[in-house]
Amino acid sequence: MFPSTITSDLEKPFSPDGRADMIRVGVIGYGYWGPNIVRNLHGLDNTRVEMVCDKSPAALAHARKSYPGLATTSDPCEVLRSPQIDAVAVITPVWTHYELAKAALENGKHVFVEKPFTSSAVQAEELIELAARKKLTIMVDHTFLFTGAVRKIRELVDRGDLGDLYYYDSLRVNLGLFQHDVSVIWDLAPHDLSIMDHLIRKEPEAIVATGEKHLNGVEDVAFMTIYFPQNVIAHINVNWLSPVKIRTTLIGGQKKMLVWNDLVADEKVRVYDKGVQISAGEGIRDLLVSYRTGDMWAPQIEQTEALRVELGYFVDCIMNNKMPFNDGHAGLRVVRMLEAAECSIQKRGELIRL
Amino acid sequence: MFPSTITSDLEKPFSPDGRADMIRVGVIGYGYWGPNIVRNLHGLDNTRVEMVCDKSPAALAHARKSYPGLATTSDPCEVLRSPQIDAVAVITPVWTHYELAKAALENGKHVFVEKPFTSSAVQAEELIELAARKKLTIMVDHTFLFTGAVRKIRELVDRGDLGDLYYYDSLRVNLGLFQHDVSVIWDLAPHDLSIMDHLIRKEPEAIVATGEKHLNGVEDVAFMTIYFPQNVIAHINVNWLSPVKIRTTLIGGQKKMLVWNDLVADEKVRVYDKGVQISAGEGIRDLLVSYRTGDMWAPQIEQTEALRVELGYFVDCIMNNKMPFNDGHAGLRVVRMLEAAECSIQKRGELIRL
Amino acid sequence: MFPSTITSDLEKPFSPDGRADMIRVGVIGYGYWGPNIVRNLHGLDNTRVEMVCDKSPAALAHARKSYPGLATTSDPCEVLRSPQIDAVAVITPVWTHYELAKAALENGKHVFVEKPFTSSAVQAEELIELAARKKLTIMVDHTFLFTGAVRKIRELVDRGDLGDLYYYDSLRVNLGLFQHDVSVIWDLAPHDLSIMDHLIRKEPEAIVATGEKHLNGVEDVAFMTIYFPQNVIAHINVNWLSPVKIRTTLIGGQKKMLVWNDLVADEKVRVYDKGVQISAGEGIRDLLVSYRTGDMWAPQIEQTEALRVELGYFVDCIMNNKMPFNDGHAGLRVVRMLEAAECSIQKRGELIRL
Amino acid sequence: MFPSTITSDLEKPFSPDGRADMIRVGVIGYGYWGPNIVRNLHGLDNTRVEMVCDKSPAALAHARKSYPGLATTSDPCEVLRSPQIDAVAVITPVWTHYELAKAALENGKHVFVEKPFTSSAVQAEELIELAARKKLTIMVDHTFLFTGAVRKIRELVDRGDLGDLYYYDSLRVNLGLFQHDVSVIWDLAPHDLSIMDHLIRKEPEAIVATGEKHLNGVEDVAFMTIYFPQNVIAHINVNWLSPVKIRTTLIGGQKKMLVWNDLVADEKVRVYDKGVQISAGEGIRDLLVSYRTGDMWAPQIEQTEALRVELGYFVDCIMNNKMPFNDGHAGLRVVRMLEAAECSIQKRGELIRL
């Protein structure tokens, strides 16, 4: 239901039954990702960027140059307390998410929070509880869920095309070491964990993580295995020290298997009519193996910018009192897995139950 | 020293100082891999295939059709005891390696054994001891070590081009479930473990392995992390349920990084002049990160068939009383890691010290 | 009808109504391609390689080593006149085809001739007439027509999946200069011309060819355009001086378009549900353009060795008095285009009508 | 000298010796490409976009939204006659170039003209003469010459790394039919012709072109061969009806060969240490062929946006009275080849001398 919902709802005129017909957003953080948030909010019909906040005067000058007339401030409180603002987008480093989101919620504002949601599960739980109490919306920016590729894969999974899932295996590596105080797991794996969570839709049972530090005291290479019920297994390989950029995910199901290569322009998702079946033979050792190899099929993928779809969905959820699927709970599930992975990696692969 | 040695020695005329000028080989096992062994032995000047043994009459008929006049038998003892045979190639399932190799050594024959060497480290140790006592040569068929690609990578590592190694990360997946009683680890990982062992040349400290069974009671998807001293880490991803075949290894070093894609016809090894350096800044959190990105270079790779080079090296080692680098000890190191991985996977990722 | 015919006929038992149940073949030429001919004939049930002829004693020694007991000769007449031989395979340089095929036909033997059929259209016409008179079969070795890829493309064309054809555009380049006295056109283009002829199935109207000589007095780089009725156009780019090997053909149709990349292991043929449609608008300049972009689909391709299928078809045609589709006329059509291209290239692109 | 010149000059402070320290530009045409021109001019220090002109009110509204305060007009004369404007960028359909550029020059303004320069060589010659008389600068927007890839290839050619050139072969195909009144040659080939002209730096002797019309009365598929002195040959394949987008150029030289794939993110230019050499043997037919295959090398390519470098160079040429290498003469050379190709294609490949 998800993709059709998003798309169709975005088209709908908003009925004038007392609901707001314009959402005014304050954006805190205008560094690497903030400008994309502002640009996409700017492009939505029923939304206005009311104010942008950043500590850097240069960032604010850049924002004003791009959007003349835009109010800017270096004080987050101006955004958090403004009566002109309905929702706050928190696009800052992870260690600030909890405090800023909490203040926003306490001031009665909906929040859109950059991933990962918070630095700890405890913080995430508190924010979820607070938002529920205040009847406010939390959306965690799991942008990839809104790409054409993930929406198509989810559709294939939901339709049963792949059959029962066997495994989810993702490789996300490149040369880059942007973070000083979080490891490659907290930097890159939230993407994979949120996608995995969205596609597998089972509660993970346990995590094993390994990795190594080579440069600045945090892991720059890491590997995670996530165990799910019914023999479903996920594996995530993240690496800041790869000479080449790779973004490839293999998903194996009982009926079909697919490869998602996010770096190619066309045919990002390739579905293979391939599989293996085992049946018992006569003797005790006689397993009959039959392979099936057939055509490959690359469905057309929608090209709309994911962040635009997501922010439109955020505004729609606020206006229509809908619970987003990438809500605080989705954010919490990812943070719990990050915590478990961090714990496991410190203990060199010890199984951490979730 | 390895590549030059092999190549130059193969060219040398054999001096007539009492050493055999012809090695007579008996081959046990003529299934999938055996015909390649026979064909390559057949192409060597100073070697004769004396007899081929297999339980299958069809396999033997096929052998005789390809090599008219070749002696064949269904009884391994005929090979193991023949006074006309100097060396035995054991190209049979792994559970038979120990018994056949032991009998060959006891009968005074050198042995070439298919990988993995044995089913257990204890067996491997016993064979090594026996061969040492009898002054016989054991070579384990780690064929990949003789490919142009691995020889070139080893050369780059030895020359210090990559600098200190950071990680070794290999992906070996395809659709295939050939084995009924060994898992994907015993089937595919010996390749990666032997290459890793050959390139890293450090003693591994511990292994963490995870995986899952979906079809016939053995793992068909598995992931291994191997910890080495000095923060070197290796990771191996093997999978029988992938819709696409991938054979890609990333190797990261302090100076350079490389990608080895074994499935492309040309430019299998790509060396990247890329890296990251961290230096301390003034404040406590101020790490200065500098990236280096430069040219990519794909050295020409020698095309000779790896198995031919390896078998020539086997015969050369016997004739000249040389210890092969892929000897019983190399085979034992791989078997120890396979045992540890199997143990770890049963315990869902428990760290197994080596 | 073609693919099913070949396949099913090969399976049929041969009825005992007076027809030969064994075809005895003599092979003239055992250089680069001859061994493949002999190996595949050897693998056919109802065929026997009776004799192999080559001028090189080394080639014959090699043949005898591979097929002990095989009769060999350095004198073509022994093959051409032998009463034990039903059919002759002429696997020699092109300038010898006419003479050898003519002698074979005159001696009552069917002929399988390497491509290109002959050095001139006149020669080809004479051989066709002779074979018709003698009721003998000529097959020209247009091997590519028997690959799984071309068979699948032909099937798509025949079924109308592509709609009316717009163009056929082939790129066949690599580093290689094997021929001293024929240009890159006579060396490489016969492949493309025979495939094009097989797929387009219209009479070409005219040819324009350009090219250049850089090394040994024959064109090493050449480009051909072939005009067909109804605006169908074909283009062939052949080059001996390319640093990379490329074998890619684009085929555009009114309904669908496809890309055939012969160098990839899987998904050689990719069919795109893409197109453009033009309709007249209101004003004189108002053409309404509508694009259609949809899924991509890579049908599974049969893997059987093309040469084996072709030789089985040759034997089947002889036994069952069938006219092969790659007969002398097909060979003649290709030779006519080669002659026209050569003529055009000498005149720097002058249009040569066919 | 070119790449260093551009780069270093862009860095230099402009000396205050009477020359303008600010170039004020009027931009005519704000459709597909115009916004990129304005954005890049906007980013230059010593440049101001004074006014934007377009017939479409929507385009102008879009411009004002992006650049609040920007003067806009629907009347080109306002730009052409404004005393506040030093230079005019003509970013309109080709049939309007001549008239607009002529008016701009007559009004004493430098001009930057979209490619192709004009609709005919006669027009181009007139503009060149007019600019020379008025001492004004003409730059034709051959953007590709300012990409990192072409700058690197030019550097390799200039340094003699490739040796004498053998051929230039470019493939530029995709699905797209944007133009109603110009063929695929006038639409796509100006890119290839300007790059070829920039790299080969010889006067072409003659052109042969072929092609076909399938949809709207202009060629949608076309092939050009350009003959140069000393056996250098160029070939250009342009196609609006390809299901896949390809932008690949092969360049063969006596010493080295390269492949430029403009669609990959990294390693766009690959240089191959490969070649063929022919020497005379003893007999008349004995040509000794020797192949050389060595490493592949992908030099790092500068990433700066080409249009930014080009526009900076335009402003620099105006300020410092320098003649750009992509001046009216460069534009004329390309237009002459387009005219010749069009003439040749009408006559089905007739050789047109230049």
| A307 touches A146 (CB < 8 A) | yes
Evaluate whether C351 touches C226 at the Cβ level (below 8 Å): no
Q: Do C175 and D350 touch (CB under 8 A)?
A: no
The answer to whether the CB atoms of B244 and C266 lie below 8 A apart is yes
DSSP 3-state of C105: helix
CB-based contact C112:C328 (threshold 8 Å): no
* Residue B281 pLDDT greater than 80, yes or no: no
Rounded CA-CA distance B153/B261 in Å is 12
SS (H, E, C) chain B: CHHHHHHHHHHCCCCCCCCCCCEEEEEECCCCCHHHHHHHHHCCCCEEEEEEECCCHHHHHHHHHHCCCCEEECCHHHHHHCCCCCEEEECCCHHHHHHHHHHHHHCCCEEEEECCCCCCHHHHHHHHHHHHHHCCCEEEECHHHHCHHHHHHHHHHHCCCCCCEEEEEEEEEEECCCCCCCCHHHHHHHHHHHHHHHHHCCCCCEEEEEEECCCCCCCCEEEEEEECCCCCEEEEEEECEEEEEEEEEEEEECCCEEEEECCCCCCCEEEEEEEEEEEECCCCCCEEEEEEEEEEEECCCCCCCHHHHHHHHHHHHHHCCCCCCCCHHHHHHHHHHHHHHHHHHHCCCCCEEC
Res. A346: pLDDT tops 50:
yes
Instruction: Please answer yes or no on whether B298 and D295 come within 8 Å at the CB atom.
Output: yes
Give residue-wise pLDDT tens across range A312-336.
999 999 999 999 999 999 999 999 9
Q: Is the peptide bond before C116 cis (omega within 30 degrees of 0)?
A: yes
Strand B71-73 and strand B47-53: the pairing is parallel
What was the pLDDT predicted at D6? 38
D346 touches chain B (CB under 8 A): no
* Amino acid residing at D235: H
Q: Which residue of B has its CA nearest to C265?
A: B263
C258-C200-D170-C293 Cα dihedral, nearest 10 degrees = -30
Query: What's residue D292's pLDDT?
Result: 84
Least confident among A65-69, B34-38, C191-195, D319-323: A65-69
List D243's β-bridge partners, or say none: none
Could D244 and A266 be called an inter-chain contact, meaning their C-beta atoms sit closer than 8 Å?
A: yes
- State residue A68's pLDDT score: 81
Q: Is A250 on the interface with B (CB under 8 A)?
A: yes
pLDDT at B330 exceeding the cut of 80: yes
Chain B residue with minimal CA distance to D300? B295
Give me the residue from D68, D265, D266 closest to A68, CB to CB. Answer: D68
What's the pLDDT tens digit per position in C34-56?
Answer: 999 999 999 898 999 999 999 99
Q: Is B79 buried (19+), middle (13-18) or exposed (0-12) by CB count in 10 A?
A: buried
CB D273 within 8 A of CB D293: yes
Give me the residues of B, 11-50, that contact C with CB < 8 A.
Answer: none
What's the confidence (pLDDT) of residue D69? 86
Quote the minimal CA–CA distance from D207 to chain B in Å: 35
* Least confident stretch, A283-292, B127-136, C18-27, D344-353: A283-292
Residue B177 clears pLDDT 60, i.e. is over it = yes
| pLDDT at res. A183 | 93
* Closest Cβ opposite residue A225 in set B215, B231, B349: B349
Spatial strand order in the sheet of D23-28: D71-73, D47-53, D23-28, D87-90, D110-114, D138-141
Partners of chain B (3+ Cβ pairs below 8 A): A, C, D
pLDDT at C8 over 70: no
Burial status of residue A39 (CB atoms within 10 A of its CB: 0-12, 13-18, 19 or more):
middle
pLDDT band (50, 70, 90) for residue A291: confident
User: Which chain C residues are Cβ-neighbours of A264 within 8 angstroms?
Assistant: none
Q: What is the pLDDT of residue D9?
A: 40
- Please give, rounded to a whole number of angstroms, the shortest distance from the CA of C237 to a CA of chain A: 26
Q: What pLDDT, in 10s, does the model give residues C169-209?
A: 999 999 987 666 789 999 999 999 999 999 999 999 999 99
Task: Find chain B residues with C-beta within 8 A of D267's C-beta.
Answer: 296
User: Residues 6 or more apart from A321 whose CB is under 8 A from it?
Assistant: none
| Mean pLDDT computed over B159-178 | 93
Closest partner residue to B68 among C68, C263, C266, by Cβ? C68
Q: Do C276 and D221 make contact, defined as CB atoms within 8 angstroms?
A: no
User: Is residue D42 exposed (0-12), middle (13-18) or buried (19+ Cβ within 10 Å)?
Assistant: middle
| pLDDT > 90: percent of chain D | 83
The shortest C-alpha distance from D297 to chain B (Å) reads 5
Q: Does D68 touch chain A (CB under 8 A)?
A: yes
Place of tokens 């590592």: B157
Asked if pLDDT for residue B285 goes beyond 70, the answer is no
Residue C315 amino acid letter: V
What's the pLDDT at B284?
58
Could you tell me if D341 lies within 8 Å of chain C, comparing CB atoms?
A: no
Q: Is the pLDDT of residue A145 over 60?
A: yes
Residues of A in contact with C295 (CB under 8 A): 297-300
Q: Tell me whether residues D211 and C233 touch, CB distance under 8 A.
A: yes
* Max avg pLDDT among A7-11, A39-43, A118-122: A118-122
Which chain D residues touch C173 with a CB distance below 8 Å? Answer: 250
Tell me the shortest Cα–Cα distance from B25 to chain A, in angstroms.
33
Structure tokens of D106? 């007559």
Reading phi first (left if > 0) and then psi (alpha if -120 to 50, else beta), residue D330 is in alpha
A354 interfacial to chain B (CB closer than 8 Å): no
| Chain B partners within 8 Å of D293 (Cβ) | 300
What pLDDT shows up at residue A66?
A: 84
Which of chain C's residues have a Cβ under 8 Å away from the Cβ of B69? 68
What residues pair up with C206 in beta bridges, in sequence order?
C227, C353
Output the pLDDT for position C20. Answer: 65
DSSP 8-state code for residue C108: T
Contact B294/D at CB under 8 A: yes
Nearest chain A Cα distance for residue C298, angstroms: 5
Measure the CA–CA gap between C4 and B344, rounded to whole angstroms: 53
- SS3 of chain A: CHHHHHHHHHHCCCCCCCCCCCEEEEEECCCCCHHHHHHHHHCCCCEEEEEEECCCHHHHHHHHHHCCCCEEECCHHHHHHCCCCCEEEECCCHHHHHHHHHHHHHCCCEEEEECCCCCCHHHHHHHHHHHHHHCCCEEEECHHHHCHHHHHHHHHHHCCCCCCEEEEEEEEEEECCCCCCCCHHHHHHHHHHHHHHHHHCCCCCEEEEEEECCCCCCCCEEEEEEECHHHCEEEEEEECEEEEEEEEEEEEECCCEEEEECCCCCCCEEEEEEEEEEEECCCCCCEEEEEEEEEEEECCCCCCCHHHHHHHHHHHHHHCCCCCCCCHHHHHHHHHHHHHHHHHHHCCCCCEEC
Return the pLDDT at A151.
98
B197, B211, B327, B328, D158 from B332: Cα distances, Å: 11, 23, 9, 6, 56
**D328-346 and D121-134 are packed helices; what angle lies between their axes, rounded to 10 degrees?**
170
Which among D324, D294, D286, D171 is positioned nearest to D239, based on CA atoms? D171
- The alpha carbon dihedral of D47, D53, D58, D59 has a sign of negative
Contact A298 C299 (CB under 8 A): no
> How far, in Å, CA of A167 to CA of A254, rounded?
10
Q: How far is D188 from chain B (nearest CA, A)?
A: 30
Interface test with D, best of B268, B295, B301 (most D CBs within 10 A): B295
Put simply, the answer to whether B295 touches D298 (Cβ < 8 Å) is yes
Give the Å distances, CA to CA, from C102 to A159, A334, C34, C130, C322: 64, 78, 19, 8, 20
Model confidence band, residue B66 (pLDDT cutoffs 50, 70, 90): confident
Measure A106 CA to nearest chain C CA, in Å: 48
Q: Which domains does chain A have, with CATH numbers?
A: 2-144+306-327 (3.40.50.720), 163-299+336-353 (3.30.360.10)
What strands lie across the sheet with C23-28, from one edge to the other? C71-73, C47-53, C23-28, C87-90, C110-114, C138-141
B352: which residues sit within 8 A by CB, 6+ positions away? B206, B207, B208, B340, B341, B343, B344
Q: What is the pLDDT of residue A278?
A: 77
Is A298 touching B (CB cutoff 8 A)? no
State the complex-level ipTM. 0.91
Q: D216 touching C, CB under 8 A?
A: yes
